[in-house]
């Protein structure tokens, strides 16, 4: 998993509450277990017409936001089913940070496991960042995970809270497998002791 330290990128505004995981990545795209290739299907029902052509009014289809790396949205983002494909699709599109007043718990935790930083802020601060995001080509935010700050295009800064353990994992690019591999030496030592104490188990394996 790629680490997240400091991000300076375009922020796209999606001023909508209750953006559920079926809106983020519709169910017909859940057959794959690959984490790549889903970016094109992100928000597909909002991005495309029935004939596959783009809806020009959708924010991510606008030229200024095609390379957005931050998404500013409404309350209860990521609600609905627990599909991990939702953060996969966001990440494959290029979104590394989502800012909203609140998140569904499962989606929130899935983000950290996939290298995405979800930031929950009071509504008035989200409104300010939403206003910043609506500046089009000038809609750049700097998200500093180490300092836990978001800096807008006018230089104003907002602080955010994050669980220290989740922060550690993102800063070091540690998903569940990475966390396990941090204990690789301890695991190897345990296996060596087990072979010495119970050699018959090793033979049975």
d(CA 92, CA 38): 6
Q: What are the structural domain ranges in the chain?
A: 6-174, 175-205
Instruction: List b or e across 9-18, with b for residues whose CB sees 16 or more CB atoms inside 10 angstroms.
Output: bbbbbbeeee
111-124 per-position pLDDT tens digit: 999 999 999 999 99
Q: At what angle do helices 85-93 and 105-112 cross, to 10 degrees?
A: 50
Query: What pLDDT was estimated at residue 184?
Result: 62
Q: Are 145 and 167 in contact (CB under 8 A)?
A: yes
97-151 per-position pLDDT tens digit: 999 999 999 999 999 999 999 999 999 999 999 999 999 988 999 999 999 999 9
Note the CATH number of domain 6-174: 3.20.19.10
| pTM (predicted TM-score) | 0.88
Q: Beta-strand (E) ranges in 87-146?
A: 97-100, 117-120, 140-144
Helix (H) or strand (E) holding 187: helix 184-197
């Amino acid at each position: 998993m790629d680490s997240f330290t400091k991000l300076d990128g375009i922020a796209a505004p999606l001023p909508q509450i209750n953006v559920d995981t079926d809106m983020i990545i519709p169910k017909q795209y859940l057959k794959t277990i690959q984490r790549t290739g889903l970016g094109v299907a992100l928000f597909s029902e909002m991005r495309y017409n029935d004939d596959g052509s783009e809806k020009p009014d959708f924010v991510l289809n606008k030229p200024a936001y095609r390379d957005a790396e931050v998404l500013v949205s409404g309350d209860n983002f990521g609600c609905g089913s627990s599909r991990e494909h939702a953060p996969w699709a966001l990440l494959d599109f290029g979104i590394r940070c989502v800012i909203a007043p609140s998140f569904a718990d499962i989606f929130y935790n899935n983000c950290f496991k996939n290298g995405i930083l979800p930031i929950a802020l009071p509504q008035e601060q989200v409104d300010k960042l939403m206003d910043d995001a609506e500046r089009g080509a000038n809609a750049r935010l700097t998200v500093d995970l180490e300092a836990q700050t978001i800096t807008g295009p006018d230089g104003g800064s907002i602080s955010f809270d994050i669980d220290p353990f989740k922060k550690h994992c993102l800063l070091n690019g540690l998903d569940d497998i990475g966390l396990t591999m941090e204990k690789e030496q301890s695991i190897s030592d345990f296996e060596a002791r087990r072979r010495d104490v119970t050699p018959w188990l090793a033979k049975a394996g």
